[in-house]
Structure formats: C-alpha cells, structure tokens
Amino acid sequence: MVQFWLKTVTAFAVKPSPLVAFVTVIVIGVVGFYSLHFPFHSAASIDASRFSHVFLSSSSNATISNYLRALTVHPHLAGTKAASVTARYVLNHFTGLGLRAHTARHSALLSYPLRSSLAAHFSDGSSLEFRLGEGEGDEEVVAPYHAYSPSGSAWAAAVFVNYGREEDFRLLAAAGVRVAGIGAGAVVEAAERHGAAAVVVFGDDTWPRGFERGHVMRGGIGDPLSPGWGGEDGGESLGLDDSKVLKRFPKIPSMPLSAEAAERILVSLGGAPLPLDWRGTLKSSKVRNVGPGPTMLNFTYQGEMKVATIENVFAVIKGREESDRYVLLGNHRDAWTYGAVDPNSGTAALLDIARRYSILLRLGWTPRRTIILCSWDAEEFGMIGSTEWVEQNLVNLGSKAVAYLNVDCAVQGSGFFAGSTPQLDDLLLDVIKKVNDPDSEGTTIYQSWAAAGGKSNIQRLSRVDSDFAPFVQHAGVPSIDMYYGKDYPVYHTAFDSYNWMTEFGDPFFHRHVAVTGIWGLLALRLADDSIIPFNYLSYADQLQVYNDILSNLLEKQISLHPLNASIQEFASAAKEANDESKKLRLQENSDDFVDMKIRALNDRLMLTEKGFLDVDGLRGRQWFRHLVFGPHRDHESKLDFFPGIADSMSELFKMSEKERVAAIQHEVWRVVRAIQRAASALRGDFT
C-alpha cells in the first residue's frame, strides 16, 4: 500500500472538491401557466430610477463592517450551537427591519472530526509529529479535517504527486513511480482506486501555517440521506448502510495539511527526480525528488457522522403587482472557521441590502415582483441547505422563479468577477455601469471591465462550487454569481478572520459596498422592470461559440448540422422575443390588454431556461439535468459546456469506434432537442 502525499493548489480553491461524481435521480415535469392579471402600476414602476438612486446613495461601508464583525466573533460550523446563534442573528436583523422573515429547517447528515494525528519518520532515524491546527488561541476552531472522510490509519511511504492530475501520474509512471490519482475529493477517489492507504492534501497558495478544510463527499450535492428530495424531520431518510449512501463517501481516510508542514516532508523525499514541468508549481526551490520515501508517514484520523438540523433563513418582500413571481438573492452563512471572507463578506452584504430595501419601503416603494433574501446553511458540506430547499420547492421554482442572484464570498481581494446564464449578460453589464470601481477612482466597474475584455469577462455556471448550482443545474433558474477577488491565501483556514479582512482583503470596505450595490440593483431591475430584462440573443451567441469550438474537436463522421440548425432556430426565437419586448415597451400602460401581453411574454422569458433541462439528466448523474451548463465527469475535459457531450468524449477508450461515434452523436441530439425545447418555450407555441 502506497501512502500518497498529494499537493494541490486547487484542492480546495472551489467548493465542493472537484471530484464529486453525481448519481442522484429525480424526474419532475415542470409546466408554465398564466394566472389572472390585475394591473396595478406601483410607485416602483413609475419612479424606479429614483429608488435605484436612493438604494445606491444609502450605502455605508461602516455598517457593512459592523455586520461582518458581529458575524465573525465566533466560528460557526453548520450543525453547531454557534451556527444556530448566527442564524438567529440574521433572522433578528430581518425582523428588526420590519421585514417578514422565517426559518426553514432541514435534517441532514453532517461530519465532524474526533481526533487525528500525523507524524513523519525520516531516514536519519528522527521523527516529527505535526501540530494539526493553526496555533494557540484557536480552541473554538474545528480541527483541520475533510468532512465525510472515513476513520482510519496508515503507515506508508510518502509520494509527491503535484496537482494530482492524471497527467501528473503519467509522469510519475514514466519515472517508474507506481501511483495514481487526482486533488482533495478527486485525489481521494483515484488514490482509493489504486490501492492507497490514505491521502494528505495541502494548498501551496495558502498562508504557510493554514490548513484548508473541506469535504470529500462525492456522487452529488445535498444531503446524502435524502437524494432528490428535501430532508426534514419525520420525512423519508435513507440509512447509513444504504448502498446509495455508501457510494457518496470514500473508503480511505484523508486530511488537509499546512504548506509549512508539507515542505518538511517534501524536502526529505528521495526516489525519482522532480519532473521539470512541476518545478514551477512549488514555492520552495528545495524540493528535488518525489519519492516514494524514504520518509514514512504515520497517519490517523477518527471522525463521526451524525444527523443535524440545519437552518435556512428567509426575508420576503411581497410584490404588489406580480406577487407570484420571485426574484431570489442568496448567500450561505455557515463557515469552516470564522468565515470573514467565506462566506460572511457575502452575508454582511445581504444584511445591508435588507437594510437599504427597508429604507425604500419606508419611502413608498413596493416591488412589482416578490423579492426573497435567502441565507443558506451547510453549504460547506456540499450546498446542502440550498439543495434541500430547491428540491422541496422544485415545481414552484420551475414556474414562478424569475432569477437567482448568488454571492458567496463577496470580497476575496481585488477585481470584480461574475458568471451568469447568458440571457442575463446585458443586464449585468448595464448595472455595473452604475457602480463605481472601488479600486480605480473616477471610473465605473464597467469601464474597468471594458478595458480588460468587456463581455468576454463573464464566466458561465457549469461549476459546482456554490449555491447557484442547484438553481441552474437542477431547477433551470436563470442565475448570476459574483464576487471581488479571485483567490486569497486564508481560504478555509482559521486565519479567515475579521482582522484579515480589515488588514488585507478590504480595509475600507469599499469593495463590499460595490458588490452590495451591484447585487441589490440587479434584484431591483429584475423585480421592478415591467418586462423582465432577459436577452436571449446573448444565449444564442454563446451557443454558437460552443458549436464552433465543438466542430474543431470532433471528427467529420459526427454531424453537428442538427446542432447548428437548432441554434439558428433559437436565435430566431430570441430576435422575435426582443422585437416583441421593444414593441410592448412602446405600448406600455396604454390598456389592460397590453399588460396581459407583457405578462404572457414574461412567462415565456422565465420558462425558456427550463427547456435546457432533460428529465433523464446526465448519464450516471441524473440529478444534474441541464444539458448546456453542468459539471463534467472528466475534470481534465477541454469542454466547460455541454456536459453530456463532454462525458461521452472522455469515455471513448471504453468503446469501439462505432459505439464511440454513436454515443457522441446521441449526446449531440440530446442537446439539439434541449435547444429546440427552449426555442419553443420562448415562442410560446406548440409544434
């Protein structure tokens, strides 16, 4: 048995760990409907620009700073008493502002450490037992661990495998080192497959003494005991010995390690020389070899899994004209440690949006559509809080949700980043024209973006690293995810504190103000514009880009003509919808019949995203139903779109040439039918 020493800069750069494979099954049909419409032209629709100005002008960096300080006094890991106290703080904040608020509780399987140890035994006979924690004064902080790791122990030689990618293991194999695997969760799965005894992972970009906590659950997101339905007390729950549940957990133990401790081991390795391609990935220039050994590692981890109550907190601002249409803003509240960046910079922003909306309400504003502020729990364990809620409310989300706006870590550092489903691109760009760039005096965020690539900066939402995932990839709700700063060195460590934020992340909280402004303005537009501000021509353009990329990767015998034709059909429907929107805006407020037409158009704009869902889901991962945006089984895939096609391309070695072509062509046809469904929904006509 070979003890793996695994280093990954990306092991916990996103959540959950990148190796999750998804198998949960759910098949639910969602239908749109038109309800009776009684027009009421509210103050918001008449004077929306005034309320937007008031929203922006009521910003307060000191207020956001105070919220963050209060949220991060104690660590608040999901399922603990401290987490419940934090939930009550958020609830009391909402109710104190006069907002209607409530808590939705779910039962979920969580995982906690009991004890762990790691010692290195060097070739000169000396040994070193590592301190598994950030230092003195961190007694409140949970010990570094990987949630859902099984208990176990190992005594084996250390091997360094760089990022843990398949290409890294191929290099090792070429050097005569027989190991294999890939990064935290993915590394554990691969290491288990190749007979490893245990896994330790460190992040080279973290502070030297920081330990990146995370989880290694695989096979899906959400509570493993309620796959496909919302877990609740008294409801159906699978047993821990159920085969569906057991598949979600690795069979070998793992734990995180600090970069400081990792270097002590790496510099002691002998064996095969460090490959040239790996020398740029390590900060230390002292590492010369990859092992195995001669250093031996003595590894022990003991943990427990237990069902706990998690708490999602909501504030509802009821719409006056279309109260049955919902705009949702979400952030998760739970943290591995103090969570100043992840996630409570976003929580502080959400609390400030609530404060600012309460000011608008006192001035006479009422949104046209209902706004819901969502504070999720247990995101760090695999988006459990948001996933359970989405599963429980799937039909209503399918027919009534306008959009979901997600902020996880509001501020990690400098630079604004955003991802969206493409029909929201133009709205996002329009809003950032109205918000000042906190890092460049006299310019807007849009101007800074335009100088750096403009619309091409917008990312897509195929990742599974935050609470937008269940909304986009399971429910088909148009979504945006945004944050300031790409990476930060205290990720998931005990150093993610209020002090770090005030010293390094955002000392004057100007970036927090910027994110809060964008987030709140996006919701105001989506809630108050008479015609929902979606532009599906952007979606058509994105699909065409994907078609062009795919055509350069696939062989001639796989036909993309049907895909291209379906995209053209969708583009035509998108142009018709845009033309209809322009016409109705000119006729707006003329009579009730026009209001009915606007309502009908809005329903089609809302439901179009659902067309990209497939009731059968991705092969082997049926919970993921979106055929344009979703995670791929192969983490080294060249495609970050069309996950079904990407999966079929990555499994070619298992098939004959004829089977290979047929499998890819079938996945292409599935995407074709999805695009056709979306075009049909946008037009609102039967075939």
Does 226 lie in the same domain as 294? yes
User: What's the pLDDT score for residue 357?
Assistant: 98
**Is residue 190 a part of any domain in this protein?**
yes
Same domain for 542 and 502: no
Please indicate, yes or no, whether residues 203 and 337 belong to a single structural domain of this protein.
no
d(Cα 497, Cα 395) in Å, to the nearest integer?
A: 39
170 burial class (0-12, 13-18, 19+ CB within 10 angstroms)?
Answer: exposed
Token duo for residue 451: 């100088």
User: CA 677 to CA 612: how far, in whole Å?
Assistant: 7
Asked if residue 337 and residue 312 are part of one domain, the reply reads yes
Name, in order, each residue with C-beta under 8 angstroms of 533's C-beta and a sequence gap of 6 or more: 426, 427, 430, 525, 526
Q: Which of 333, 346, 327, 316 is nearest to 376 (CA)?
A: 333
Which of 471, 500, 528 is the last residue before a domain boundary? 528
pLDDT category, 369, cuts 50, 70, 90? very high
Do residues 411 and 368 touch, judged by C-beta distance below 8 A? no
What is the rounded CA–CA span in Å between residue 281 and residue 264? 17
- Same domain, yes or no, for 264 and 171? yes
Q: Give the global pTM.
A: 0.91
Question: Average pLDDT over the chain, rounded to whole?
Answer: 88
Q: Which residue, chain included where needed, has tokens 């934020």?
A: 501
- State mean pLDDT over 231-255: 93
Q: Could you tell me what percent of the chain has a pLDDT over 70?
A: 89
DSSP states of 290-349 as a string?
Answer: EES-SSEEEEEEEEEEEEEEEEEEEEEE--SSEEEEEEEEEEE---SSS-TTTTHHHHHH
Residues 83 and 334: beta-carbon distance below 8 Å: yes
pLDDT above 70 (res 214):
yes
Q: Which residue has the tokens 């330790």?
A: 200
Cis peptide before 294 (omega within 30 of 0): yes
What are the tens digits of pLDDT across the range 401-426? 999 999 999 999 999 999 999 999 99
- Across 618-644, average pLDDT: 90
Of 503, 528, 553, the residue that ends a domain is 528
Neighbour tally for 441: CB within 10 Å? 7
Mean pLDDT, to the nearest integer, of 191-195?
71
DSSP track, 490-511: TTTSTT-SHHHIIIII-TT-HH
Out of 7-16, 18-27, 446-455, 494-503, pick the least confident. 18-27
At 475, which CATH number? 3.40.630.10
Residue 55 clears pLDDT 80, i.e. is over it:
yes
| Opening angle at CA 679, ends 678 and 681, nearest 5 | 65
Scanning the structure block, which residue is given the tokens 């008294």?
Answer: 234
Is-contact 208 258, C-beta < 8 A? yes
How would residue 204 be classed by pLDDT, with cut points 50, 70 and 90? confident
Which CATH number characterizes residue 301's domain?
3.50.30.30
Map residue 416 onto helix, strand or coil.
strand
Q: Which residue has the tokens 């499994």?
A: 651
pLDDT surpassing 80 at residue 46: no
Of all residues in the chain, the percent with pLDDT exceeding 90 is: 74
pLDDT of residue 30: 29
311 is catalytic: no
**How much is the pLDDT for 208?**
87
Q: Are residues 302 and 338 in the same domain?
A: no
Q: Are residues 522 and 540 in the same domain?
A: no
Domain assignment present for residue 12? The answer is: no
Residue 24 lies in a domain: no
Q: Can the peptide bond before residue 113 be classed as cis, meaning omega within 30 degrees of 0?
A: no
Least confident of 507-511, 566-570, 658-662: 658-662
Task: Name which of 165-174, 195-204, 316-325, 489-498 the model is least confident about.
Answer: 165-174
* 409 is a domain residue: yes
Residue 21 placed within a domain: no
Indicate whether 81 pLDDT > 50.
Answer: yes
**Spatial separation of the C-alpha atoms in residues 464 and 88, rounded to whole Å:** 28
Among 153-167, 176-190, 332-346, 536-550, the range scoring the smallest mean pLDDT is 176-190
473 located within any domain: yes
Q: Looking at the structure, do residues 577 and 517 belong to the same domain, yes or no?
A: no
Helix axes 81-96, 344-362, angle to 10 degrees: 20
Q: In CATH, what number is assigned to the domain containing residue 637?
A: 1.20.930.40
Domain count within the chain? 3
* Model confidence pLDDT, tens digit, residues 89-114: 999 999 999 999 999 999 999 999 99
Residues 321 and 281 in one domain: no
Query: Looking at residue 41, what is its pLDDT?
Result: 46
pLDDT band at residue 220 under the 50/70/90 scheme = confident
Helix (H, G, I), strand (E, B) or coil at 5: strand
Give the per-residue pLDDT at 633.
83
572 found inside a domain? yes
Structural contact between residues 343 and 388, judged by C-beta atoms closer than 8 angstroms: no
Cross-strand bridge partners of residue 157: 296
Q: How high is the pLDDT of residue 190? A: 72
Among 199-208, 222-231, 299-308, 396-405, the range scoring the smallest mean pLDDT is 199-208
Mean pLDDT lowest among 33-37, 279-283, 583-587: 33-37
- Sign for the pseudo-dihedral over CA of 47, 53, 54, 55: positive
| Catalytic entry in 311, 321, 379, 380 | 379
Using the predicted structure, report yes or no on whether residue 473 has a pLDDT greater than 50: yes
Q: Which domain holds residue 627?
A: 536-683
Rounded Cα–Cα distance for residues 346 and 339 (Å): 10
Of 445-449, 585-589, 664-668, least confident by mean pLDDT is: 585-589
DSSP letter for 115, please: E
Do 453 and 507 lie in one domain? The reply is yes
Q: Answer yes or no: is pLDDT of 280 > 90.
A: no
Average pLDDT over residues 139-168: 88
Q: Is residue 33 part of a domain?
A: no
Per-residue confidence (pLDDT) for residue 447, from 0 to 100: 95
pLDDT at 683: 97
243 shares its domain with 186: yes
Which among 266, 261, 268, 258 is positioned nearest to 282, based on CA atoms? Answer: 266
Q: Are both 432 and 568 inside the same structural domain?
A: no
Mean pLDDT of 214-240: 93
Closest by CA to 352, choosing from 507, 520, 527, is 520
Average pLDDT over residues 25-45: 34
Q: What is the pLDDT of residue 335?
A: 98
Q: Which of 483, 509, 528 is the last residue of a domain?
A: 528
